[in-house]
Amino acid sequence: MFVDSPKEALHPDVSAVAALDEPTRRRLYDHVVRQPGPVSREEAAEALGLARQTAAFHLDRLADEALLDVVYERRSGRTGPGAGRPAKLYKRSAKQVTVSLPERHYELAGGLLAQALEESEATGEPARAVLHRKAYELGTQLAGPGRAGVFDVLEGNGFEPRHDGDGVALGNCPFHALAREHTQTVCGMNLHLLRGLLEGLAETGLQAHLTPSPGHCCVRLEPTR
């Protein structure tokens, strides 16, 4: 999803994927997510032939990366005094981890297209007009409440901005595959998204124009004439 601040040094999803590169940790993750209910450290250790301390260390690392959720339950079914402490259990996290290089945002495009279709059917307004308006509105929101510059916001959302003469070229299209198959629709959406971004940032020195060129986003930022 698009963000309204510069990228961190290491994106959380990249860190999460890197955590799964350790073989024992990956085995534990696969085991937990295949179970019908939450799994204790002891159960995971026994199932994979690991020491309890080893299983606990890796399960907690997976929880730290938000790949697993931690819940506490009393396995005895008893409650009240004498029932014992609840066991620490692990289950699949609801978090969705996606890493794409170059950066892509197909879910965002899909959401805008779905909104446009639904509103068009409900109101009779042409779907393309709704799409452009929704994209523009989203673009204004990307500026966020802070004072991030145009380059920071573009970089934080995968556009890979570069100074090019007196303008700004965008080295990556977050909607690349869709733009190749549905150029007019997706590039028009992207144009209005970036126009909204400039509006939200109160950036009056640049304007967004459709300027397709090989290896670049179809939109380019040019100095205001």
3-state secondary structure of 110: helix
The structural architecture, per CATH, of the domain 12-92 is Orthogonal Bundle (1.10)
Half-sphere exposure of 181 (CA within 13 A, CB side): 3
Output the pLDDT for position 203. Answer: 92
Q: Do 12-92 and 106-223 fold alike per CATH?
A: no
- The domain segmentation of the chain, as residue ranges, is 12-92, 106-223
The H or E element that residue 45 is part of is helix 41-48
What mean pLDDT is predicted for residues 207-216? Answer: 91
What mean pLDDT is predicted for residues 39-67? Answer: 95
3-state secondary structure of 66: coil
The structural architecture, per CATH, of the domain 106-223 is 2-Layer Sandwich (3.30)
Phi–psi pair at 206, nearest 5 degrees: -130, 150
> Which of 17-31, 111-125, 135-149, 150-164 tops mean pLDDT?
111-125
Output the pLDDT for position 80. Answer: 54
Distances (CA, A) of 15 to 8, 19, 34, 90, 106: 11, 6, 22, 19, 21
* pLDDT one-digit tens code per residue, 45-58: 999 999 999 999 99
Secondary structure letter of residue 32 according to DSSP: H
Output the pLDDT for position 147. Answer: 60
* pLDDT one-digit tens code per residue, 133-181: 999 999 999 877 766 789 999 998 999 999 999 999 999 999 999 999 9
Distances (CA, A) of 99 to 60, 118, 184: 22, 29, 27
Output the pLDDT for position 100. Answer: 67
* Residue 214 neighbours by CB under 8 Å, 6+ apart: none
Provide, rounded to the nearest whole percent, the portion of the chain with pLDDT above 70: 88
- The whole-model pTM stands at 0.69
* pLDDT one-digit tens code per residue, 132-141: 999 999 999 9
Output the pLDDT for position 10. Answer: 47
d(CA 154, CA 65): 26
Q: Exposure string (b/e) for 50-73, b if CB count within 10 Å is 16 or more?
A: beeebbbbbbebbeebbbbbeeee
Pairing relation of β-strands 39-40 and 167-170? unpaired
Pairing relation of β-strands 206-210 and 219-223? antiparallel
* pLDDT one-digit tens code per residue, 74-85: 866 655 555 567
